[in-house]
Amino acid sequence: MRLLEQIGVAAMRQIDPELAHGLAIKALNAGLGPKDGPYSSDRLRTNLAGLDLPNPVGLAAGFDKNATALHALSGCGFGFLEVGAATPRAQVGNPKPRLFRLKQDQAAINRFGFNNQGMDVIAARLSARPKGVIGLNLGANKDSDDKAADFAKVLTACGAYLDFATVNVSSPNTEKLRDLQGKAALAALLNGVMEANAALKKPVKVFLKIAPDLDEAAFDDVAEVADASGIDALIATNTTLDRIGLNGPHAAQTGGLSGQPLFEKSTKVLAQLSSRTKLPIVGVGGVGSAEQAFEKIRAGASAVQLYTALVYGGISLADDIVRELEVLLAKAGFATVADAVGTGRSDYL
């Protein structure tokens, strides 16, 4: 299976990246992906904000925007899944082309703009979800008069089928969305989301996903607001607007950069936040190996997520990382993932 997957990945990289992404989803739903489910052990099992995970390696939002492949993805080795982003109303997103591979950098640039089929369609799919820990990335419509209110609307529509919901105010591809990371605006937004969450029959865990392009003062503000809001965890980080050191013909494309060039920057942000708050943090940005997952954990992450690395390593990469991470934890003398969290934070401060 792995040889066939490698051939398929190589073939996919020869066609338009957004088309390839759609074909990858179809292939998974046709049964061409792994089926064993998440690998786990006493060393790998961990807790994230009260959620019991079989292992700490999750799938980041954006891969399965419309929750069309949940059952297939549940067999691919991830300890948890995040789908979306979902907005109240369906929207087509930004004009194509809007996804670009940077093969030389093992990276990607996207400017999708929250393209999705809307919260009602996504909620219907989530209602038939498989077992496991599943979350939804909450977004806002591009033409919304009240973007802050959109997050609460999506949570109200979909919350009954979730284990966690992520407030995404950090995508660079929706105009003025990142303005909601300001202290007062963020506090008001999170207050609305937490009110909507409290109104659910069974409230879910609420996470906040932040941008890597923040200054020191903004770190302080995010940590202060997050701690006061009652949310359960942070996700560090979303894509970056930086283009430092990139190669290849698409390096100047507008949009959010993900993949290997983001690893160091996102890990520094993770460590900075970890030193400012006691909230658990999910580390995302440039994770493409067990060594990088382990480094995120040691920098302060209770769990990690990946997405762009799958473009180059295939869907089986998740299981490879999980199994190799277990070996790294053992070699370093850690009996559990939790024992390793934050042990290398000082390297990034």
Q: Catalytic residues, which ones?
A: 171
The residues pairing with 234 across neighbouring beta strands, listed in sequence order, are: 208, 281
Q: What is the DSSP string of 165-196?
A: EEEE---TTSTTGGGGGSHHHHHHHHHHHHHH
Distance CA 59, CA 318 (A): 8
Tell me the C-alpha distance between 134 and 18, whole Å: 24
Strand stretches in 237-280, DSSP E: 256-259
Torsion of the alpha carbons at 135, 243, 265 and 104, rounded to the nearest 10: 80
Which is it for strands 51-53 and 46-48: parallel, antiparallel or unpaired? antiparallel
Q: Tell me the sheet residues that pair with 257.
A: 109, 240
Instruction: Determine the Cα–Cα distance for residues 57 and 8; give it in Å rounded to an integer.
Output: 23
